[in-house]
Amino acid sequence: MSHITNTLLTFPPFIFFFAVIILSYLFEDLAIVSASVAATQNVLPVYLALLALFIGITTGDLALYFLGSWSRKWQGLRRVILTKPSFKIIKNKLKKNTFSVLFLIRFIPGLRFIGFCLSGFFHLNLKTFLSAVLLSTACWTALMFSLVYQLGEIDWIQKNISWGLIPILSIILFFFHRIAAEKLREKTRRAD
């Protein structure tokens, strides 16, 4: 066990529990990777790591919905969103297939912020929004957590990298999201 793990084991698990929730508001991928690595290092029990991720991610998504709803008050923003062709396409897709589109947004890098804010902006049904977010978050969190957890369980990684897995995977995910977001921006520019 590394010096970092020994130091972290001196803190009670509830500190990590709330740290994961707060971290998920700022950097969701980093929160998932950190919670998974903490679980592989026995710093945070698996069930608490998953619960903290689920709470943090779903409440963060709900906050995006309410941010979108609140932003509707700004007349200039409302004018831009309601007149641009790309936003009309998004609105139609969100209204027509609300649950399935919201469910898929969780899995496509670069869409979560705008998709969930627009859900609030367009006043989509909150129950439908919540049900899609809860189910997609459960699936996404379980999938990503399991992948990182299994990677962290590999003996070579535990002995040689352990906590170094957090920055390595976070950097990989950061660049993956940047590339995916740029491709989405290109498609949006072509649609406008």
- Domain range for 10 is 3-191
Predicted pLDDT of residue 1: 45
Predicted pLDDT of residue 75: 85
State the chain's mean pLDDT as an integer: 83
Q: Check: CB of residue 166 under 8 Å from CB of residue 38.
A: no
The number of domains in the chain is 1
Predicted pLDDT of residue 3: 56
Whole-number percent of the chain with pLDDT over 70: 81
Instruction: Classify 110 in phi/psi space as left (phi over 0), alpha (psi -120 to 50) or beta.
Output: left
pTM of the model as a whole? 0.79
CA separation, residue 130 to residues 37, 64, 68 (Å): 28, 12, 15
Q: Check: CB of residue 10 under 8 Å from CB of residue 21.
A: no
Chain position carrying tokens 């379980």: 142
pLDDT in tens, 163-178: 666 677 677 777 776 7
